[in-house]
Amino acid sequence: MSISALIIDDEQLAREELQYLLDQVGGVEVLAQGTNGIEAVDLIEEFHPDLVFLDVQMPGLDGFAVIQRLMERNQSEMIAGKKADPLPRIVFATAYDQYAVRAFDVNAVDYLLKPFDLTRVQQAVERVRSRMADGASASDGTAQPSDSLAESPIESQLDSLLRLLNRPQGASRTLQPARLIVQVQSRMLLVDQADICYAAIDEGVIRVVTQTFEGHSKCRTLEELLDLLDPALFWRAHRGFVVNINHIREVVPWFKSSYQLRMSDKRQTEIPVSRAQTRRLRELFNL
């Protein structure tokens, strides 16, 4: 059974890697590639693929917002008395395992963690192929009653995922991952949180610095990055900086009762402490 597919990811290297692995797996025809959520919606409406490999974090619309948009479109068409197009199977692609855990918990479709692995891609394709076969069996009345996957259409599974993701933050929040993806040139490295000295944002790009190297995070804001970090270790000392308190080498008194933090990275970077955070600094170190 040949599967028609789209690849939607804002990173060219990720798209190329996934295309290469799918070529190795075989049986999957990639009809088109997109770079953001808005393109994803347009390409799905144009090509009606069996399967979409969908990045979670993208500019414009993220992966979950794409699903929401498709479901809202189908609901509008049904309200208008039109026949809605079936939703494609979705395989999420993400560098952050808290999204993968949410998708896996509801058994929505499948997920792939970056960097991609050939065996895992093959498993995802086989799982989709099995779902498609189950769906075909259900349509001709030959599905087995005990097969819970065959009894659950893809729309129902995605709806369950969306309900989970839209629950109040306290109900759906998962533990922070022990390691984060940091992109260093063309490489995507898994970094222990404890090894991160600080993160800084400059013109919308988040720089992550360790004692041995620095790279970039896919997060778009420091607030988004902080959601992934251990609050017992990381503190937002300034609007543009998040620091690991275990990597503060020195607290430097500055003018007008302010302070700077000298970090333990190679450059011994000095980071300002905002006036609003001065009280927190004193509490941390009994100043």
Confidence of residue 137 (pLDDT cuts 50, 70, 90): low
CA gap 33, 26 in Å, rounded: 17
pLDDT value of position 5: 97
According to CATH, the superfamily of the domain at 3-168 is Response regulator (3.40.50.2300)
Query: pTM for this one?
Result: 0.53
Pairwise pLDDT comparison (142 vs 201), residue with the higher score: 201
- How big is the chain, counted in residues? 287
pLDDT at 160 over 60: no
Structure tokens at 93: 């692609």
26-81 pLDDT, tens digit per residue, is 999 999 999 998 999 999 999 999 999 999 888 777 787 888 788 888 777 777 77
Contacts of 51 (CB under 8 A, 6+ apart): 3, 4, 5, 6, 28, 88, 89, 90, 91, 128
Q: Report H helices in the chain.
A: 12-25, 37-47, 63-79, 97-105, 118-139, 148-151, 154-165, 169-172, 222-226, 278-285
pLDDT value of position 121: 94
pLDDT value of position 268: 95
pLDDT value of position 79: 75
The CATH architecture annotation of domain 193-285 reads: Beta Barrel (2.40)
- Write the single-letter amino acid at 275: R
Q: For the chain, what are the domain ranges?
A: 3-168, 193-285
Percent of the chain with pLDDT over 90: 40
Cα 60 to Cα 33, 37, 45, 63: the distances in Å are: 16, 6, 17, 10
Structure tokens at 236: 């937002």
> Among 68-72, 125-129, 192-196, 217-221, which stretch is predicted with the lowest mean pLDDT?
68-72
